[in-house]
Structure 1
Amino acid sequence: RGGGGGGGNASNSSSASSTFSSLDIVPITGMVWVGPVLLFSTAGGAVRQLSWTGDVIHVCAAAPLGRVSIVGATPDAVVLVRSQWASGSAALAPAAEVCIRPALMLPALLLGWASLAASGVTAAAADGGAAAVRVVAAAKDTLARFDPSAAALNDGLMSSLIKLGAWRAAEALAALPSPLLSRSSRLAALAASARWIDIRSLLLHSLQNSHHAPLPPPRGSSLHSEMVAAAAGALSHGQLTVAIDLFVEAGEWLTAMVVAVCAGRVSMLTEISRRLLAMEQMYWAGG
């Protein structure tokens, strides 16, 4: 059984970002539980994680020299037993060798807790909100046990959480500080939980702190693309006010007017016209 806490500073080569739709046809050579995480090794020299939702996630790879079996894990590595096959029928196989493969367990643990809540296996998971609270509490406790400099909360991990259906857990974890977590990943986590008001707040805050303010971001910029995509998503979910606000702030005035007219929001159409006039005056005045 693998170890739990401690401070690990080794980086996981895959960052738990590669997810397989099904198990490859490769024999399994060993399995071990690490908290809510089931790790297994294959004859091809790979170590993978089986989530509670049935997804298989790559953890790390070991050189396929002989038979490799996982026997344990530490906060920053997996423990493998490797044995060479005998070269002939009469030869004796060499003794087994214990080897260590660096692999940070923090991403695997976070995915384990999140997929457990998303799977509905436990009674607590029947209520997504309550399960998410427990998952986030367990995840925060897990984070506290690791080196804070460990690069765990990144885009790959967030993408895996969303694919596993752990949307509320992804949303809560996205709120935690992490320099490796992009704005796009935070937006994706919020969109998966239909938090359109929060999406608008995040994007408008980013716009206010950009060098484009108070003008809209230029077309082709990442911020403009994110604002238009978020507006379209909000519109498809019936969040007309959010959609119109984002279209206006993105400089898509005509689209915002069309949405306001189709929705019968005469007051919003008037407000859009007023803001467009003010923006034009600011432009001709030199910004």
Structure 2
Amino acid sequence: MYKSCIFLWLLALITPVLNGQESLGYRLDTGDVFTVQQQAEQKVVRDFEWGLQEITNRLNGILQFRVVEKNREGYLLEFSFKELSLHIKSNTDGDLLVVNTSRPDNEDIQSKIYRSLLNYPIRMKLHPSGAILSVEGGNRLVQKLIKVAGISDESLRLEMENGLMQDYSSEALAASYEPLTHFYPTTAVRVGESWENQFRGNQPTENCWTLDSLGPVKILISGVSKTQTQTENHLWGTHLEGTQTTSIVCDAATGFIREMLTKGYATGFSTQTQSGNSKIPTTIESKISYTLIDHKHVQ
């Protein structure tokens, strides 16, 4: 009986190998530090009665992820912005926002706010599959940014807080950066097999991932997704549906991305909060890339 149990235990261990299956996921060590370059471009086109309005958003940033703890649940990471630039331009009104934290302007409130994002530690708990279990520090970051803005008018302060919470609250940060991390399956797979997961937030996404290649150095994964966008603020409401494609190159040793490129296209309508419920035909075309530019281990 004892020998039979040993045989079954060994068989369970080697069956995935015999079937060509692999358990994919993160294999990080405490002290690992990953530095990532983010580049994003989004074009929003609204078809008004008077003509087309095109708004182009360009964002460039340097992000850093440091592994501060490894436990049974997964990993505790410390995330921070190291550099950030943002350019928003309209075909009708020209530049709406130009900020570059590497060229600070102490007279510009927007420059001061975005510089306050730098090096502020946000902690996130990461499951080995890449699901972000929780985020801590985002809400405190929002309060810091409001303090830096120095707005005394209570209504303006509240309006700013609501806007910042949509982008930098703990919940918003978890939703924003889960697409960068959460693409691994929870069960063993072989090359050519697919699996599904979902992203949360006000832009829920249903994803189908495929393991395209698995080697000793890198892992190739591709994804096809259905997206929905439902947002509301004091200026606009946006209601869109679309698709996106993702290609990922991961490091086989750590599971962390080397390169990621996501392209998306969505259509639907917008509404102006102050002018009733008239629907304005709207499209959004987006492209976002992440590139690992440094990986080191520190004590």
The verdict on a shared fold, with TM-score over 0.5 as the criterion, is no
User: Which has more helix, going by share of residues?
Assistant: 1
TM-score (norm 1): 0.25
User: Which has more strand, going by share of residues?
Assistant: 2
Larger Rg, first or second structure (1 or 2) = 1
TM-score (norm 2): 0.24
